[in-house]
Amino acid sequence: MKIVSRDQWFEVEHRHDGICLIHEPYIRPFYRCNLWHIQGRERDALIDSGSGLVSLREQLPWLTERPLLAVASHTHFDHIAGHHEFPERLVHPAEADILAAPTGANTLAKDFVGDEMFEAHPDCPLCYAEYRVKAAPATRLIEEGDVLDLGDRVLQVLHTPGHSPGGISLWEAATQTLFSGDILYDGPLIEDAYHSNLEDYAQSLARLRQLPVRNVHGGHFPSFSGERMHELIGQWFNDHPQLT
């Protein structure tokens, strides 16, 4: 397999409103997590931290030049394996035990990490051959109704279980922007992980549908509009008639 040097591993794309997408282009799309960096006046937030194969702190030192809240949308390996690098780590209580004691089984790494996940490997031979998610115990638990105050902007925590029990979305009402994690993105959704729950899934989607959303930045795949969100949720309920 092709080897890519570590300084090529991450790609950073600036979006509107101080939002920036960080991702790992040599991980194939279905496995590639979107890391959302949101800049505030007093502190920044980073939603999810990716595969952990290459150090975010080393490759993107600007990340830690300012106070940073490293939020876990949920605790699957592709979203949390870089969290141990950051001092402030936030997660919903329902998955705090996984962030504190991650295993191949409870983070899904055992089911998904393999050669088919990569277009290329980073130049650290053991980081994928002996893949392990490092423990990153939470320093703050975040639940429904909490807010992350970044100074000049606030993100509301919505508990959106279904894909996993402690899944959260973050809602920025001022810009009508939703960060949805893995409960909703424009690609194949996973609703049959060991701790998924279909009824919770339906309730979470029904709730997101009520929000006046303009932009959705999900845990995987490209961002989309509020209109597309309604299509995707409508499609999901058509596929699950027993849950409507």
CB closer to Zn ion, 109 vs 138: 109
What is the closest distance, in whole angstroms, from the C-beta atom of residue 244 to Zn ion in the complex?
24
What is the closest distance, in whole angstroms, from the C-beta atom of residue 77 to Zn ion in the complex?
9
Q: Which residue's entry shows tokens 């876990």?
A: 72
Mask of contacts with Zn ion, 141-180, x by CB under 5 A?
----------------------------------------
The span of 57-65, 76-84, 121-129, 232-240 binding Zn ion (CB under 5 A) equals 76-84
The span of 22-30, 38-46, 72-80, 210-218 binding Zn ion (CB under 5 A) equals 72-80
CB closer to Zn ion, 36 vs 40: 36
Using only C-alpha atoms, the chain has a radius of gyration, in whole angstroms, of 17
For residue 18, the cross-strand partners are: none
Q: Which residue's entry shows tokens 């975010």?
A: 56
| Residue 78 engages Zn ion in binding (rule: CB under 5 A) | yes
Number of residues that bind Zn ion (CB under 5 A): 4
Q: Are 166 and 74 in contact (CB under 8 A)?
A: yes
What is the closest distance, in whole angstroms, from the C-beta atom of residue 200 to Zn ion in the complex?
14
| Residue 24 engages Zn ion in binding (rule: CB under 5 A) | no
CB closer to Zn ion, 27 vs 150: 27
Within 13 Å of residue 108, how many CA atoms lie on the same side as its CB? Answer: 18
Which of 79, 70, 68 has its CA nearest to residue 34? 79
| Rounded Cα–Cα distance for residues 111 and 79 (Å) | 15
The tokens for 88 are 């402030």
What is the closest distance, in whole angstroms, from the C-beta atom of residue 33 to Zn ion in the complex?
5
Quick one: which of 172, 182, 191, 200 contacts Zn ion (CB under 5 A)? 182
Q: Which residue's entry shows tokens 């606030």?
A: 154
The span of 8-16, 62-70, 147-155, 216-224 binding Zn ion (CB under 5 A) equals 216-224
What is the closest distance, in whole angstroms, from the C-beta atom of residue 66 to Zn ion in the complex?
26
For residue 156, the cross-strand partners are: 147, 171
What is the closest distance, in whole angstroms, from the C-beta atom of residue 83 to Zn ion in the complex?
14
| Residue 195 engages Zn ion in binding (rule: CB under 5 A) | no
State whether the Cα torsion 220-33-150-71 is positive or negative.
positive
CA distance to 58, 155, 215, per residue, from 173 (Å): 33, 8, 11
Closest-CB residue for Zn ion?
A: 76
Q: What backbone phi and psi angles, to 5 degrees, belong to 34?
A: -90, 125
User: Which residues contribute to the site for Zn ion (CB under 5 A)?
Assistant: 76, 78, 182, 219
